[in-house]
Amino acid sequence: MANPTVVLVPGAWHSPIHYAPLTQLLEAANHTVVTARLPSVGSSTPKDQSVANDASFIENKLLRPLMEQGKDVLLLMHSYGGCPGAVAAKGHSKKERMDAGQKGGIVGLVFLCAFLAGEGDSLKSKLPNQEHFPWVMENSQTSQLSVSDPGTVFYNDVPSAAAATAISHLALHAEPALSSPSGPPAWLDAAYDGKRAYLQTQSDNTIPFVAQDAMVKYSGVQWDVEVWETGHSPFLVRPEALAEWVVGRVRAYGV
């Protein structure tokens, strides 16, 4: 039986190239990795973007083609990617598909220092005063967002050369994707009981650890929680350990 495929959903401003150290290690461990830049990142039509649009892209371009081949999938989501990723996963668990007489499906949900948004919530609505973080720079004419100090925000514990490379690959992010409401998230569903994990990062300057911890504690469901002393990019700081942890989640959930 083939190993589950890992579908990796990048965060805001990020692209698959940022996760290359992790994806290469997962592939070396005999796991196919499928990923793509979200439509809200580097968009030529930023005002048309939304959580729903990103979720539709993940569901129809990344997940469905695999499930229609009968493949099992571990859904791995980073940062903002946790919002559209969880919406895209709705109704596609392996259990639900088996109950419907279908093969394949999502065997587990894994969140890397990611947002957990309830139905109707936007990322912006969960922030103090419903305003973007101070380090988010908005161009109101284009509806594009940039980051004032990405080295400090995203890569505070990443070696300087690797951080500079990562910064060079960042793209603008469409503001409506952070202010539009999320749909119902799959992580609330009983089908994922015992099959949802969250990696919390204690030195995170993007989503503070206290916020990550609160989202998990008040989610209303049980999680397998791992806590690391890293910033927001453990895939650049501890790629080997992260790959090992992800493979461990695959083995635990892909049964």
Domains contained in the chain, number: 1
Q: Give how far Cα 121 sits from Cα of 85, 175, 185, 215, Å.
A: 14, 15, 10, 13
Q: Tokens for 131?
A: 């305003």
The pLDDT of residue 126 is above 80: no
pLDDT of residue 1: 63
- What pLDDT does residue 130 have? 73
Q: Provide the domain limits for residue 91.
A: 5-253
pLDDT band for position 125 (cuts 50, 70, 90) = confident
In this predicted structure, the answer to whether residue 137 has a pLDDT above a threshold of 70 is: yes
Mean pLDDT confidence for 125-152: 90
Q: Where are the beta strands (DSSP E) in the chain?
A: 5-9, 33-35, 72-78, 105-112, 136-139, 144-147, 173-174, 196-201, 224-228
Residue pointed to by tokens 């919390």:
200
For 122, the token pair is: 């936007």
Looking at every residue in the chain, the average pLDDT score rounds to: 96
Closest alpha carbon to 153 in 106, 117, 112, 205 = 205
- In this predicted structure, what is the pLDDT of residue 255? 63
| Average pLDDT score over residue span 30-47 | 98
Tell me the per-residue pLDDT of 63-90, one tens digit each, with 9 for 90 and over.
999 999 999 999 999 999 999 999 999 9
**What's the rounded mean pLDDT across residues 158-163?**
98
Average pLDDT over residues 153-173: 98
The two three-digit tokens of residue 29, written as one number: 């461990």
Looking at the predicted structure, is the pLDDT value of residue 127 above 80? no
Looking at residue 187, which CATH number applies to its domain?
3.40.50.1820
